[in-house]
Amino acid sequence: MKITFLGTGSAIPSERVQSGILLEDAPLLLDCGSGALLNLNRSDVKVDDVATVLLTHNHLDHVNDLMALVKADWLLGRTNLSVYGPPGTYATLSGLFDAYDYLRGKVDVEVNEVTPGTEFEVQGYTVDTLATEHSVESMAYRFDDSFVYSGDTEAIPEMAGFASGCELLIHECSFPDDIDVGNHTRPSTLKPVLESCDVDTVYITHMYPHTRGRETEMLAKLESAVDGEIHMAEDMGSVEIGGGLLK
């Protein structure tokens, strides 16, 4: 399984684009923030090959490029798109189609609202979900025993058990410790979760501009919490899972 980070940034513009992760083998998208579609076009996957999007929550920096994907699909001849997300996803999509009414009916968009804590099947994967702690209903995804993506969340102890046994945990770490902002994670709050989590490798993502120049400092605070490796995700960086993790 090859995972490519399309966007590792946040709601405030920086050199990083907004949230987006590509599973190239499926292929499918996890979140679709502004700039994710541009970087998808730079990957080895064609835009119209993506038929499934999983949203962790419905904030702008995670859905900004969703309607751009719908329009691209229409222009390229794709007729269907499946979107999964927490309760509220249907209302979000309905509102977007109200705003961009000319796209209504151009692509058959199937919206699947998932109750956090439940399991579903998508494109050959068994996907578990976990309710996370954010300013809107949000959830993390676990793909088989391969990897977990936290989405936006404060550090919660339940994440350790949810991710244990996976090869890879992708967890947000939005700010350095001296920026105390609710609804997000900092190194000091993430460290206890990682200390209790049995996972081979960790990548942190969703960096606000406040982290610029402090990447080494943030990673150093977390290195002792993991037995394996920890890295800061970068736009268009890739990892491969299965038979060992390759940077």
Q: Is residue 247 part of a domain?
A: no
Q: Residue 98, SS3?
A: helix
Query: pTM value?
Result: 0.96
Reading across the β-sheet that carries 139-143, which strands appear in turn?
119-122, 125-131, 139-143, 147-149, 168-172, 201-205, 229-232
Each residue's pLDDT tens digit, 73-93:
999 999 999 999 999 999 999
What is the mean predicted confidence (pLDDT) over 18-37? 97
Using a pLDDT cut of 90, give the percent of the chain over it: 96
Q: Residue 99, SS3?
A: helix
Q: Check whether 245 has a pLDDT greater than 60.
A: no
Each residue's pLDDT tens digit, 108-121:
999 999 999 999 99
Banded model confidence at residue 244, pLDDT cuts 50, 70, 90: very low
User: Residues with catalytic annotation?
Assistant: 61
Which pLDDT value is given to residue 57?
98
Per-position DSSP letters for 30-66, written without gaps between them: E---TTHHHHHHTSSS-GGG--EEE-S---HHHHTTH
Interatomic CA distance for residues 90 and 8, integer angstroms: 25
Q: Is residue 52 part of a domain?
A: yes
Using a pLDDT cut of 70, give the percent of the chain over it: 98
Q: Is residue 246 part of a domain?
A: no
Q: Is residue 118 part of a domain?
A: yes
Which pLDDT value is given to residue 201?
97
Which pLDDT value is given to residue 242?
83
What spatial distance separates the first Cα and last Cα of the chain, rounded to whole Å? Answer: 13
DSSP state of 174: -
**Chain Cα centroid distance, residue 201:** 16
Q: Check whether 247 has a pLDDT greater than 70.
A: no
Total number of domains in the chain: 1
What's the CATH number where 159 sits?
3.60.15.10
Q: Check whether 95 has a pLDDT greater than 70.
A: yes
Q: Is residue 221 part of a domain?
A: yes
Interatomic CA distance for residues 64 and 69, integer angstroms: 10
Each residue's pLDDT tens digit, 34-48:
999 999 999 999 999
Q: Which domain holds residue 6?
A: 2-240
Interatomic CA distance for residues 141 and 151, integer angstroms: 8
Asked if residue 40 lies in contact with residue 47, where contact means CB atoms within 8 angstroms, the answer is: yes
Q: Residue 185, SS3?
A: coil
Which pLDDT value is given to residue 181?
87
Specify whether the backbone of 79 is left (phi greater than 0), alpha (psi in -120 to 50) or beta: alpha
Which pLDDT value is given to residue 246?
41
Q: Check whether 197 has a pLDDT greater than 50.
A: yes
